[in-house]
Chains A and B, each alone.
Chain A
Amino acid sequence: MSLIREIVAELFSMFAADGRLALGALIVIAIAAILVSALPTHPLAAGVVLLVGCLAILVAAADREAKRRASN
């Protein structure tokens, strides 16, 4: 049973080791999906939001972890 638990934990950590990064990415994807529906004539606007949003979330996640470790 502990092996199955470890496998499930590993699978979870593959995608959500940093919960806030994962949540942020999902929010950006949801915003992009809404934009695609709301602005069907300008789908690239959603693309820009998706790309720039993901880059911003990556930087924020690295910065947050750096600050957390610096304060410990």
Chain B
Amino acid sequence: MGLSFLNATAPVVGSAFLASLVEAVEAFTIILAVGTLRGWRPAAFGTVGALAVLAALIALLGPLLAYVPLQPLQLAIGILLLLFGMGWLRKAVLRAAGIIPLHDEAAIFTTETVELARRADEKSAAFDWIAALTAFKAVLLEGLEVVFIVIAVGAGRSLTWPASLGALAACLAVLVIGLAVRKPLARVPENTLKFGVGVMLSAFGVFWTGEGLGIPWPGQDLALPVFAGLFLGVALAAASVLRRPLAEPVQ
């Protein structure tokens, strides 16, 4: 395996893995709340339904990417990655600075459980559609982000398959660990992961946007870690300058 292949593949797989880990943890919290409170049948039904919709979307839209010329594809993906990645990074900086509360999976689990219990009192049916829809929505919304990230980091260099494997590994890891502990994965350092992923997605965004505009980056793929280092340094400095006492975790 050549060094240049590793240089190109490692950031793609790493970014897809870490970003998917964050999204999978968020989706798992909701599935766990549905499963423990309202039963695993509607939780599984909603989850499988959402995965089927996501698979259909990928099967429908994935092959179309092959017909888009590379440079416009890189530009479009680069712009979307910049908007998405910088949004994540901005939020991660604000969380690291204590300006907005950290994401707390245990608190979200409690809130979701209370909400599901309240809705159960309102309506009862043979099959728990409310619970199934809750799981469906969580998996679909978080899954859409995973699909976008996989396509965005992978398509610019025809590395969609390695990126997909990275995302799949993250989802399986969350599923296996989550089912083993049967608790929200509150100890996952979510903001640290989001910080790292925001840095990588922003760096990819600048890289692909530049390539799409016809800018020949010095060092080609080696420019990517340089961009990531710059985003990381600037984001850490911003978090440090803006730092306040930690806010209460979000409910």
Q: Which residues of chain A have a CB within 8 Å of any CB of chain B?
A: 3, 6-7, 10-11, 14-18, 21-22, 25-26, 29, 32-33, 36, 43-44, 46-47, 50-51, 54-55, 57-59, 61-63, 65-66, 69
B246 to chain A, nearest CB (A): 14
Q: Are A15 and B94 in contact (CB under 8 A)?
A: no
User: Given contacts A61-B86, A65-B100, could you give 18 more A-B pairs where the C-beta distance is less than 8 Å?
Assistant: A7-B141, A10-B144, A14-B144, A14-B145, A15-B80, A25-B86, A26-B83, A29-B213, A43-B215, A47-B210, A50-B206, A51-B210, A54-B82, A58-B90, A58-B231, A61-B90, A65-B99, A66-B97
- The answer to whether the Cβ of B47 comes within 8 Å of any Cβ in the partner chain is no
Closest to A68 in B: B99
Q: Are A18 and B87 in contact (CB under 8 A)?
A: yes
Q: Are B242 and A11 in contact (CB under 8 A)?
A: no
Query: How does the 8 Å CB contact mask read for B79-93 relative to A, with 1 for contact and 0 for none?
Result: 110111011011101
Q: Are A10 and B141 in contact (CB under 8 A)?
A: yes
A3 to chain B, nearest CB (A): 6
Query: How does the 8 Å CB contact mask read for B92-133 relative to A, with 1 for contact and 0 for none?
Result: 011001011000000000000000000000000000000001
> Which residues of A lie under 8 Å from residue B173 when comparing CB positions?
none
Give the docked Cα–Cα distance between A26 and B87 (Å).
13
| 28 residue pairs bridging A and B, Cβ less than 8 Å apart | A3-B137, A6-B141, A14-B144, A16-B83, A18-B87, A18-B90, A21-B86, A25-B79, A29-B82, A29-B213, A32-B209, A43-B213, A47-B210, A47-B215, A47-B217, A51-B210, A54-B205, A54-B206, A57-B86, A58-B89, A58-B93, A58-B202, A58-B235, A62-B93, A62-B94, A62-B238, A63-B242, A65-B90
A14-B87, A58-B235, A62-B90 known; A43+B141 contact, CB < 8 A: no
> Which residues of A lie under 8 Å from residue B242 when comparing CB positions?
62-63, 66
What number of B residues sit within 8 Å (CB to CB) of A? 42
Q: Are A51 and B234 in contact (CB under 8 A)?
A: no
Give the docked Cα–Cα distance between A51 and B215 (Å).
12
A68 to chain B, nearest CB (A): 10
B124 to chain A, nearest CB (A): 21
Q: Are B100 and A69 in contact (CB under 8 A)?
A: yes
Q: Are A6 and B137 in contact (CB under 8 A)?
A: yes
> Which residues of B lie under 8 Å from residue A17 when comparing CB positions?
87, 91
Majority secondary structure of chain B interface residues (helix, strand, loop or mixed): helix
Give the docked Cα–Cα distance between A54 and B213 (Å).
15
> Which residues of A lie under 8 Å from residue B235 when comparing CB positions?
58
> Which residues of A lie under 8 Å from residue B218 when comparing CB positions?
44
B135 to chain A, nearest CB (A): 13
- The answer to whether the Cβ of B45 comes within 8 Å of any Cβ in the partner chain is no
Give the docked Cα–Cα distance between A21 and B88 (Å).
11
Q: Are B140 and A50 in contact (CB under 8 A)?
A: no
- The answer to whether the Cβ of B40 comes within 8 Å of any Cβ in the partner chain is no
Q: Are B83 and A22 in contact (CB under 8 A)?
A: yes
Give the docked Cα–Cα distance between A14 and B145 (Å).
8
